[in-house]
Structure 1
């Protein structure tokens, strides 16, 4: 039996990914003081704040055409999601890849995300 925290975390993530796949309507579940780590393995400094994360996603949304949740594991306010993305890069390369996404929720909002993915593929396919 799921506890209410797991259910709440699951509902937040379902709302997020439903909107994220459509590239709209995901922002409502993000906390104002959201912390995002990922996208640059050589610079582990987080992007802090909802506005900063929205800017990250605006850039990222230009490369992915579609996404699906492959697996979601929830433990209270913590979750791990494997997302599968279809990318089309500015150079025309079309690639399918998985991203590991580690989430934390608190007080009815998603408060942090840390992602892990193949950064070398992005470096090779996105002009500097």
Structure 2
């Protein structure tokens, strides 16, 4: 049995959110992190991913399944149960993701400064 996912496992100001290295889209990496410890049901994934609608999460899981990173398993009921888990290919992304997160944490201040400068009046976003 895997430990329950924490609702706040993804702090809105977490360095991983600042990482300029994106895997697929902004949610793929966090979904992979949610599946890191083992299979999860859809309802379990919704806890830390509460900012993602059910429809969008379903689409993201299908995309990750299509790309061979996530496997979907239907367990016959009653009650019928669906679980998602990382495939070996998906698991192979964990080490590079750790490296990217470490890099983002080490360059946190520089990333914040660059984003603030970009968004400030006179910054590149206002040209």
Q: Give the TM-score, by structure 2 length.
A: 0.29
Indicate the structure with greater strand content. 1
Indicate the structure with greater helix content. 2
Larger Rg: 2
Higher relative contact order (Cα pairs below 8 Å, separated by 6+ residues): 2
Q: Give the TM-score, by structure 1 length.
A: 0.29
